[in-house]
Chains A and B, each alone.
Chain A
Amino acid sequence: MNQNPLWTLFSLFAALSLFAVGGANAAIPEIHRVAVNVMHWMTDKQFADMFAISQLSPGPNVIIVALIGYHVDGLAGAAVATVAMVVPTCLLAYCAARTWDRFKDAHWRVAIQSGLVPVSLGLIGASGFVLARAADHNVVAGLITAATAATTFSTRINPLWIFAVAGALGFARLV
């Protein structure tokens, strides 16, 4: 492999930044393919661990790219991977938002905007479903999901309290 790893990181994540429709979790299979199968940066197990760490960390799921960059080339790798993943899509989002606001009252804009909402809601619902299926391997885990959903739907309790309880149940090896 005579290619500079920083350049490989940059080109991988810059491309993903512009083509990952559906968010970071939708890009996970492609990141896995390149990092494990093509570049041999890490094993399957290491990749799964990094995904778990990115879930354990606060913040948007996309920060998994910083972990992969860090594993490949230290802090420089982390910086390059994060910038490549975040900056192109942000520039696009910024331009889109400006254009969007200029046509605030145009009928076509209102139609596009209100037409996209139900599609978006269905897709987010699907990620909730997929995440729950991936996480809930036993009855206790399923109950945690159901109880969290019911509690946060009907109250404004800070979900971190629920996470603390759920983490404690995990610590007690119930999950």
Chain B
Amino acid sequence: MVILEPMPDSSLETPEPAAQAPSKPTLLELLSAFTQVSLAAFGGALPWSRRMIVERKRWMTNDEFNETFALSQFLPGPNTINFSVVFGSRFGGAPGAAMALLGLVGPPLVVVLILGALYERYGDIETLGHILAGIASAAAGLLVASVGKMAAPMFMRKWNSGPPIAVLAFFGVAIMHWPLPYVFLGLAPASVLLAWFKR
């Protein structure tokens, strides 16, 4: 990737804040990025969205991605769908949201319907089940790694309320099997209050 030196003249115009992500996607780039994410995304779209947006395109920093994803997770409904709408609308308004959504849902829909039609016709094939089992194990590992990457900066920072809250949420849902809404309603207000009184 070639990074262009800023022209001396252009620096006279309004300077961009340094922390901002370097480039903004166009509508077509949104469609193509989310299409690629959706076609690669086996076992959930989160790891693939993060890989595309943070690591490859650098449209967002890790923190911006975490915050946007947290918002879309807190909204009801499928959260990667929400994420595509929130992300797309931030960069391209309503058309941006539509493009991101179309890219994320359209292609997989075609694939899954073809598979569904084959299934209705041919029923179960045992070998397919075994291949699927192998991929499912890898997909779980991929998700674990993504969470690790998203959370690592938070755990590195010097004392903050994040890590204990994250560990509690994990413990409540994964180990205690408490219903997710209870865990969420129990922890989110406390976490927001702590963030409010910080600084």
Binding site for B on A (CB under 8 A): 17-24, 26-27, 49-50, 52-63, 66-67, 70-71, 75, 78, 82, 85-86, 88-90, 92-94, 96-98, 100-101, 107-108, 110-132, 134-137, 141-142, 144-153, 156, 158-160, 162-163, 165-171, 173-175
Question: Which residue in B66, B136, B165 is a CB contact (below 8 Å) of A122?
Answer: B165
Min CB distance, B64 to chain A, in Å?
10
Bound complex: CA A129 to CA B144 (Å) = 7
| A117, B162: Cβ atoms closer than 8 Å | yes
* In the complex with contacts A120-B73, A149-B141, A170-B134 CB distance below 8 A: yes
Chain B residues touching A, majority SS: helix
25 pairs of residues in contact across A and B, judged by CB atoms under 8 Å:
A17-B76, A50-B119, A55-B42, A56-B128, A56-B135, A58-B40, A60-B44, A90-B81, A92-B76, A97-B85, A117-B154, A118-B163, A119-B169, A120-B74, A122-B170, A134-B140, A135-B133, A135-B140, A145-B138, A148-B137, A148-B141, A152-B146, A163-B139, A166-B134, A170-B130
Closest 10 CB pairs of A and B: A59-B108, A122-B169, A89-B77, A170-B134, A148-B141, A115-B192, A166-B138, A126-B173, A126-B174, A115-B195
Q: Which of B38-68 contact A (CB under 8 A)?
A: 38-48, 51, 55, 66-67
Question: Which residue in B72, B89, B142, B191 is a CB contact (below 8 Å) of A119?
Answer: B191
| B45, A59: Cβ atoms closer than 8 Å | yes
| B105, A60: Cβ atoms closer than 8 Å | yes
Min CB distance, A13 to chain B, in Å?
10
* In the complex with contacts A21-B181, A52-B132, A59-B196 CB distance below 8 A: no
| B170, A60: Cβ atoms closer than 8 Å | no
| A90, B101: Cβ atoms closer than 8 Å | yes
Question: Which residue in A59, A108, A126 is a CB contact (below 8 Å) of B38?
Answer: A59
| A169, B85: Cβ atoms closer than 8 Å | no
- Which residues of A are found within 8 Å of B70, using beta-carbon distances? 113, 116-117, 119-121
| B116, A70: Cβ atoms closer than 8 Å | yes
Q: Tell whether B21 is near chain A: CB-to-CB under 8 Å.
A: no
Question: Which residue in B44, B107, B116, B166 is a CB contact (below 8 Å) of A53?
Answer: B116
| A21, B141: Cβ atoms closer than 8 Å | no
* In the complex with contacts A107-B196, A126-B174, A171-B127 CB distance below 8 A: yes
Min CB distance, A115 to chain B, in Å?
3
State how many residues of chain B have any CB contact under 8 Å with chain A: 101
| A136, B170: Cβ atoms closer than 8 Å | no
- Which residues of A are found within 8 Å of B172, using beta-carbon distances? 122, 126
Q: Tell whether B167 is near chain A: CB-to-CB under 8 Å.
A: yes
| B42, A120: Cβ atoms closer than 8 Å | no
Min CB distance, B90 to chain A, in Å?
6
* In the complex with contacts A49-B119, A53-B116, A136-B140, A120-B66 CB distance below 8 A: yes
Question: Which residue in A57, A61, A94 is a CB contact (below 8 Å) of B111?
Answer: A57
Min CB distance, B169 to chain A, in Å?
3
| B192, A70: Cβ atoms closer than 8 Å | no
Question: Which residue in B77, B108, B180 is a CB contact (below 8 Å) of A17?
Answer: B77
Question: Which residue in A53, A63, A169 is a CB contact (below 8 Å) of B105?
Answer: A63
- Which residues of B are found within 8 Å of A153, using beta-carbon distances? 145, 148-149
Bound complex: CA A24 to CA B86 (Å) = 17
| A59, B140: Cβ atoms closer than 8 Å | no
- Which residues of B are found within 8 Å of A96, using beta-carbon distances? 71, 75, 86
| B107, A127: Cβ atoms closer than 8 Å | no
- Which residues of A are found within 8 Å of B81, using beta-carbon distances? 60, 62, 86, 89-90, 93
